[in-house]
Amino acid sequence: MRILFMHNNFPGQYRRIVDHIKDKPGIEMVAATLASNEQKFRPKRVNFKPHRDASTKIHPALHSVEKAVLMGQAAYKSLMPLQAKGYKPDVILSHSGWGSNMFLKDLFPDSKLLTYYEWYYHSRFSDGDFLRGEPYDANGQLRIRMKNTPILQDLAAMDWGQCPTQFQHSKFPDIFKDKISVLHDGVDTDYFKPDPDAKVTIGDQTFTAEDEVITYVARGMEPYRGFPQFIETVAKLQKMRPKLQVVVLGNDRVAYGAERPDGKTWKEWALEEFKPDMSRLHFLGLQPLKAFRTLMQISSAHVYLTVPFVLSWSMLEAMSTGALIVGSDTDPVKELITDGENGVLVPFKEPGAIAEKLNHILENRKDYTELKKAAREHIVAKYSVKDLLPQYWQLIESVANGSQI
């Protein structure tokens, strides 16, 4: 079977399925990705790069559309030499949203297209207006609707779709939902598991599960993942807990949402605004998976805050290590966490309440042991790669041979 992967940052969500099928007989894999992608991987690589940036002289709502078209054009052109030599994939596994998929069916009309969907944008009852606390104006509504243009093109072209969670699936138009399977990428529960002997060394300090360590992990530091609320929480909690240590993994950038108009990063602003004790607050940047795993193994409580948006892998991986999740009471988190059963839910916009809950947890840590066990059990039962990868491969085969369609 010939499989073409299309992902701007390959392998991304396809890392585990590539490992799962790489030694299967008769599998030929090609991966198209951005030329700027520095990751190394096994499949044959095809690079693409848009030949220019989207114009700033068009209607603002069309900026994201032109950017997607340029991305799709670059991806199309990069694959033309292969197509000219007779290459035709049996199935294309593509990640929707950037536009790189938009013209694949024009280049390979007879290939089956299985598209991975993360998000469909809405201006009401969704991520953006949750943060704003008020509806978007007309221009904002128009801009957000137009962000769905490349996604709609992908939905129209796909033979089948995949979405990782029920919440994310619920955001897509009803007319497409029946052709999108809810199937998570899965968690390596053999790798992400508890270790009571784990230690984390930061500078001249070494921490274990016996210490009071609150953790926070995200790709960036922005309101979408509750970073300002977290720093305010930390500042309040430090005054209650003189032995508290806080460890943050992530880069000082915006991964989702908007940057600050004053030019400051959200980290700079939050530290100036809430003035936490920096001697007990450790920013370690992005770290390898092993370092993340060890941190989760010693964590007293792992704070995961998010607006109603795409759920992070890190929360599931933290659950698998047996970390106690203190998560926002928003829909993506509530799909996995039941308050008082396998984690703790807190109000996203109330740092004071979050701090009080964390203080109670740290004061009564033994009371939460069963919740940590239940969190891991839930991931092992529902999200283990051992169970999900065979299902994923079955889906790929069925789309490739047309039986799923």
pLDDT tens-digit series, residues 359-385: 999 999 999 999 999 999 999 999 999
Distance CA 151, CA 159 (A): 14
- Which tens digit of pLDDT belongs to each residue from 55-68? 999 999 999 999 99
Fold of the CATH domain 2-186+385-401: Rossmann fold (3.40.50)
Mean pLDDT of all residues in the chain?
97
Can you give the pLDDT at residue 159?
98
Q: Which tokens hold the place of 374?
A: 């239940």
Which residues have a Cβ under 8 Å from the Cβ of 163 and sit 6 or more positions away? 116, 117, 118, 169, 172, 180, 181, 182, 183
In the chain, % of residues over pLDDT 90: 95
At the topology level of CATH, where does 200-382 sit?
Answer: Rossmann fold (3.40.50)
By the 8 A CB rule, do 118 and 256 touch?
A: no
pLDDT confidence band for 405 (50 / 70 / 90): low
Query: How far apart (Å, rounded) are the C-alpha atoms in residues 196 and 174?
Result: 46
pTM for the structure as a whole: 0.94
Check pLDDT > 80 for residue 202.
yes
Region 42-59 average pLDDT: 95
Which band of pLDDT confidence, cut at 50, 70 and 90, is reported for residue 42? confident
| Domain boundaries of the chain, sorted by first residue | 2-186+385-401, 200-382
Secondary structure (H, E, C), 245-309:
EEEEECCCCCCCCCCCCCCCCHHHHHHHHHCCCHHHEEECCCCCHHHHHHHHHHCCEEEECCCCC
CA distance 261 to 196: 45
Do 2-186+385-401 and 200-382 fold alike per CATH? yes
Q: Which amino acid does the sequence have at 19?
A: D
